[in-house]
Every structure is written in structure tokens, then in C-alpha cells.
Structure 1
């Protein structure tokens, strides 16, 4: 047996599944790209750390059975869904509002903890994270051992895979900041990114409607 009694083959398959899921464009990918491209890598990596903590907390909740309760309750699921959509729309408005400000002034005036907190909240309000832990993760748990320890171990693997991919996204998107040195071009690109975030929020709301309990 491998990590926490999980079969090594199952662990490898789970890591591959997590990678494919995280490589699929979604709220985290677009939001992190928006932050890194418009505010720089430093704040982008702060958001990555917040996302990682949010995913880890949902994983712990799954191990304790809370994610299953949320997934089985239409009311709680809908509350999280609409909360997540509203929060992403607010982030888009915040990005649109700051589009007129020079990049250096925005990045210098906002503490990294702000983007850390935003990244965390985005995932705590993401019911699809709970659905992943409840619908996909259990299929990789080996029988005959402690389910909680395996769930926590697989959650840690998922967070590690997701964080690695998110860090790469930030590193790549951060190079786009050189395009923002021109004031007019900066305003256009940052507002386009804000509109992209609106699109992701609307897609998020529609896609979670399809997966609601």
C-alpha cells in the first residue's frame, strides 16, 4: 500500500485526474490569470496561496462529511452557488474599476493578504469543489482502511497538483504585464480581463446548475 493505505496505482490515477480537471478552464484559472496579468506575479502568487488554503479547507470538510451534507442539501448548494457567482461578479467590478489606475500604483497599494483572502473565499464559495470531493475522490479510496485518513491524503495530493498548475499559470500570465505599460492598452486589456471574469461567473452559475443535487 502507498500513502495512507491508498493503492499506488489509484494514487497515480487520482493525481492524473486532478491534473486534467485543473487544466480545464474554470474560475480559478481565469481569476489567477487576471490577477497576475493586471497586478503582477507577487499578488498572483498570494492569490494562489489563498486558493490552496480554500481547497484544503474544503478537503478537510469532505473528510468530516460536511461536503456530503452540502452536496445533499439543495438549499445549501444554491446558497454557495449564488454566493460564488456574486463574489466573482464583485471581483470583476473591482478589476474594471481599477482599470484606469497605473498597474504599479494598484499593485503597490494593495496588500498581498487581500488577494490571498479573495482566492480563499472564491473556493470556499465554490460548490463544485465540494462536488469533486464527494463525487470523484471517493472512487479512489481503497477499502479496508480508514476513510478519513485516505480522504485527507487524497485532498493533499489534489491541493498539491492544483497549486502547482496555478503557480505555472501565474508565472506565465505575469509575463503579460509588460503589455500593460502603455496606458490606453493597459485600460483595454484589464477591462477585457474583467469582462472575461464576468463570463466565467455566468458560466460558473450555469454549470453548477447542471450539477446541483
Structure 2
């Protein structure tokens, strides 16, 4: 049964905006696939998915503990969520480093998976995004453990789908990433969309 207390479309859009923004991870997956083949890219994706899932699960527990402290902290988390999205928007707007075509060191597929797992498990940006942004799409503002884990699963599913598309279409994606003017337009359009989400979070905090 679909939980009516969750804004599924809004959360999916927020995650998709972040995942579609060209960045170092996107460039790494594409370059790895082109240099070592799809098996290497798929190995990296499996590690990324597991690391992101573990990071999100830990973040759900942290968010539950923080939001249980009272409405004042719930409002503060909304403000932090707005700041997080604004920061991501700024990074997307000014970033110019995604077109690098530097080759990645050759490793076994299991090592690519391990690298993807560790990087995403200890990624503080991913944890902060989930702790602050996820509660904004639960109508109560205080997600239960089951709601948080469900949204974590959705987050990993969307991210993995985007990563799979990158591996399967690596050749075409590289053309976009290498065309800096085109990549800049994509980043800045997504940045403006993320800034709009940040404004919504801020209005929600003081509404």
C-alpha cells in the first residue's frame, strides 16, 4: 500500500535533480566504463548502490533521533534542508570539472565495487542530504523508521537507475560531458530547479 503521508513525487524529483547534475561521480562512471568496459562500470555501480543504501539507512536512524527532540528542531532541519539544496545548486552552477577524460587506474571489478561502496558509505554530503531533505517530504515532518527506510530504498533505486543509464549510454554521455558549454547549460538549469526546491523548504520552515 502506498503511504499517503509521503510526497512521493516531490521526493523523487528532488533526488532526480541531484542525480542528474553532472559531477565527479558521473564522470568517473562514464570514464571507467569507456576505459575498462561495462563490467567495470557495473561493478562500480553495485558498490555505489550498497554504500548509498548503508549511508541512507544510518541517516534515517540519525534523522529519527534528531527530529524526536521537538518541533524546534524540525523547523531547524527544514532550514538546513533549504541550505543544503542551495549549496548543491551553487556547486552545480559553478562546477567546471566534470569534463575531465583522465583515465582511471585499472583494477579488478571487485575493487571498483569496493571503492564505490566506501566512497558512498562515508560521503557526508549524501548523509546530510538525506537527514535534512528526506523529512521535508513526509507530511508530519517526522518520518517513522519504516517511512525513512522506504524513502531510502527509493533514493537508491533512482540513483542506481541513473547510474545504469550512464553505463549503458557511456559513449553518448561522454559527448555531453566533454562539450563544456552544453554541460554548463544542463548544470545551471538543474541548479535553478534545486534553488526553487530550497525556497520551498524555507517557506515551509516559516510558513
- Common fold, TM-score beyond 0.5? yes
Aligned to 2:40: 43
CA distance in 1, matches of 2:27, 2:126: 16
Aligned to 2:49: 52
Deviates more, 1:124-133 or 1:161-170: 124-133
Describe the superposition over 1:40-95 as per-residue Cα deviations: whole angstroms up to 9, x where unpaired: 111101101111111100111012117988xx9xxxxxxxxxxxxxxxxxxx9x94
Moved over 3 A (4+): 66-69, 174-177
State which of 143, 147, 156 in structure 1 corresponds to 2:144: 147
CA distance in 2, matches of 1:165, 1:159: 10
Q: 1:173-192 counterparts in 2 under 5 A?
A: 173=170
For normalisation by structure 2, the TM-score amounts to 0.59
Name the structure with the higher helix share: 1
Shift of 1:122: 1.4
Describe the superposition over 1:103-161 as per-residue Cα deviations: whole angstroms up to 9, x where unpaired: xxx5xxx4321111011111123211011111211101232986211111101001000
Gap runs ≥5 in structure 2: 67-76, 78-99, 179-207
Aligned to 2:28: 31
CA distance in 2, matches of 1:122, 1:135: 20
Number of equivalences: 142
Aligned to 2:166: 169
CA distance in 2, matches of 1:55, 1:172: 22
Q: 1:67 to 1:48 in 2, by over 3 A?
A: farther
Aligned to 2:14: 17
Aligned to 1:118: 115
Gap runs ≥5 in structure 1: 73-91, 99-105, 178-188, 190-213
SS of the residue 2:169 aligns to: helix
State the superposition RMSD in angstroms. Answer: 3.2
